[in-house]
Amino acid sequence: MATKILMVCLGNICRSPLAEGILRSKLSEDFIVDSAGTGGWHAGELPDKRSTATAKNRGLDITNQRARQFKQSDFEIFDSIFVMDNSNYKDIMTLAPNEEAKLKVKLILNEIFPNENVDVPDPYYGGQDGFENVFDMLDQACEEIARKLKQ
Ligand code: 4NP
C-alpha cells in the first residue's frame, strides 16, 4: 500500500499547502501527500495567493489544492502527520484517539533540527518575504522526509 503523508497547519491556506506541494515534488506517485488545517474557516478555498506565487517562483503549481479541515479519520488514513507549529501539535494530539495515532504526529522542523521543537512561523499577517522564508524551511525539511521515505 502507498505510504500516505499529511501536512497540517492552522488554516490550510499558507504553510501546509506549500509543504504538500514541495514534498510531492520530491516523491514518486507511489506516495500520497495531502494537507489539512486544524481550523475549518478556509475550507474549500485555494491556497493564499502569496503561497501560490512563492510556489510558482520555485517551479511548483499548487493551484489544484483546496483547503479542508483535519478530521479524526485522518489518523487512520495517514502514516505520518507533520504539523507546522507547536499550537498545531497540541490541537492534533488532543484529537488523537490512541497511542498509535499520537506516534504519527511530528513537528516538521524536527526533521532538520531534531528535538528542538521549532515552529514554522505563520506568514499570514506578514509580507511576501515571510512566505519565501517558509518555503526555504519546508524545502529543507521535505528533502529530509523524502530521503528517509526512499531508504
Ligand atoms: P496557515 O496560515 O495556518 O499557514 O494556513 C493561516 C491562515 C489563515 C489564518 C491563520 C493562519 N486565519 O486566521 O484565517
For 115-149, what is each residue's pLDDT tens digit? Answer: 999 999 999 999 999 999 999 999 999 999 999 99
Distance 111 CA to ligand 1 centre (A): 22
CATH code of residue 25: 3.40.50.2300
**Alpha carbons 67 and 41: distance in angstroms, whole number:** 9
- In this structure, what C-alpha cell is assigned to residue 61? 503549481
Q: According to the model, what pLDDT value does residue 57 have? A: 97
Question: Is any atom of ligand 1 closer than 6 Å to the C-beta of 122?
Answer: yes
In the chain, how many domains are there?
A: 1
- For residue 51, what pLDDT band results from cuts at 50, 70 and 90? very high
Q: According to the model, what pLDDT value does residue 124 have? A: 96
**Alpha carbons 67 and 47: distance in angstroms, whole number:** 7
Q: According to the model, what pLDDT value does residue 1 have? A: 85
* Prediction pTM value: 0.98
For 2-43, what is each residue's pLDDT tens digit? Answer: 999 999 999 999 999 999 999 999 999 999 999 999 999 999
Q: According to the model, what pLDDT value does residue 13 have? A: 98
For 69-106, what is each residue's pLDDT tens digit? Answer: 999 999 999 999 999 999 999 999 999 999 999 999 99
Q: Out of 8, 10, 88, give the residue to mutate to test ligand 1, the one with the largest number of ligand atoms within 8 Å of its CB.
A: 10
Domain ranges, residue 128: 3-149
CB 37 within 8 A of CB 13: yes
Question: Is any atom of ligand 1 closer than 6 Å to the C-beta of 22?
Answer: no
- In this structure, what C-alpha cell is assigned to residue 16? 501546509
**Alpha carbons 131 and 140: distance in angstroms, whole number:** 14
Average pLDDT of the chain?
98
Q: Give percent above pLDDT 70 in the chain.
A: 100
Question: Is any atom of ligand 1 closer than 6 Å to the C-beta of 40?
Answer: no
**Among the atoms of ligand 1, which is closest to the Cα of residue 88?**
3
